[in-house]
Amino acid sequence: MRVTVWHNMVTGYHSGYRPEHPMLPVYSYSAPDGPAEDQLWRAVMLCNADPEMLDGQDREITTDYRGKRLRSFSPGDGFSVIAAGRQTFWASNGRALVRLDAGFITLAAEGGWGSVPTGHRVTYRVPMWDDLTRLGHFEFGHRYAATAAEAVALFHGIGKNEVAITRDPVTSLRRSPIRYPDGAPPPPYGCRWCGRERSHHGMSCLRGLSGWTRPTDAQILARMKARRAARGLG
């Protein structure tokens, strides 16, 4: 199973979770399959213990958690557990961990002191619900969710085909009618409309029969920044 720690991003709040509270995923790790409740109380311990008091994998996880400068698990924070193709959610009411009927209602867009987001920043829509554009941090690239769409679908309990990713989660470039793979943006001086390089363009384009069109200065800059982000320099 996969356990994710979520921090409540309401400043100075030290009571139970409420649906309007923005929640931020800050840390994930793999755990042995079994009852989720057993792993949840272990997770509370891992997020609060002194690494010197632990050994084995517990010590490794706690050391890594602290090394990322993440604060201790507190009232109002929560966990999610991925197992058997489902993601379930739990939140602290200050006295116990309470299982929620669905995922956290409000997702935080930014981190803060002691709360650094994990995963990728993903902008998406769920057309079968409404026209709203949503934003959150999602972890993918593991065996439970290979793509951003799969991670979002798992969080909401819907099919991956019901999710429309509106920006490349790796480079943050807005999606266009011509789909470039995530993490592989078009060249900076590719055509304004289709992204193809001038030397390989020809007369066929997104706009029909037209030659290569110089991209705007804003496009060139955005593509350069996207390529740096894709190389981990960004």
Which pairing describes strands 97-99 and 86-92: parallel, antiparallel, or unpaired? antiparallel
Answer whether residue 161 shows pLDDT above 90: yes
The residue-averaged pLDDT of 76-93 equals 94
148 lies in a domain? yes
In a domain, 81, yes or no: yes
More confident residue, 88 or 185: 88
CB-CB neighbours of 233 under 10 Å: 8
pLDDT reported for residue 179: 56
Q: Do 93 and 11 share a structural domain?
A: yes
Q: Are strands 106-107 and 22-30 parallel, antiparallel or unpaired?
A: parallel
**Would residue 172 count as lying in a domain?**
no
Residue 129 and residue 42 share a domain: no
Q: pLDDT tens-digit profile of 46-79?
A: 999 999 999 999 999 999 999 999 999 999 999 9
Q: How confident is the model at residue 5 (pLDDT cuts 50, 70, 90)?
A: very high
* Banded pLDDT at 128 (limits 50, 70, 90): very high
**Total-model pTM:** 0.75
pLDDT at 199 over 70: yes
Q: Residue 178 falls within a domain, yes or no?
A: no
What's the total number of domains in the chain? 3
Examine residue 173 and state whether it is found in any structural domain, yes or no: no
Range of the domain at 124: 120-165
Query: Do the domain assignments include residue 219?
Result: yes
The span from the CA of 136 to the CA of 234, in Å, is 19
**Number of neighbouring beta carbons within 10 Å of residue 92:** 22
Bridge partners (DSSP) of residue 79 are 5, 90
What integer pLDDT is reported at residue 215 of this predicted model? 85
In degrees to the nearest 10, what's the CA dihedral of 90, 93, 94, 95?
A: -80
Same domain, 190 and 142: no
Q: Tell whether 204 and 148 lie within a shared domain.
A: no
Q: How many residues does the chain have?
A: 234
What is the helix (H) or strand (E) element at residue 37, kind and residue range? Answer: helix 36-46
> Is-contact 8 78, C-beta < 8 A?
yes
Whole-Å CA distances, 198 to 44, 191, 209: 56, 7, 15
Answer yes or no: is 175 within a domain.
Answer: no
The tokens describing 92, both together, are 């602290």
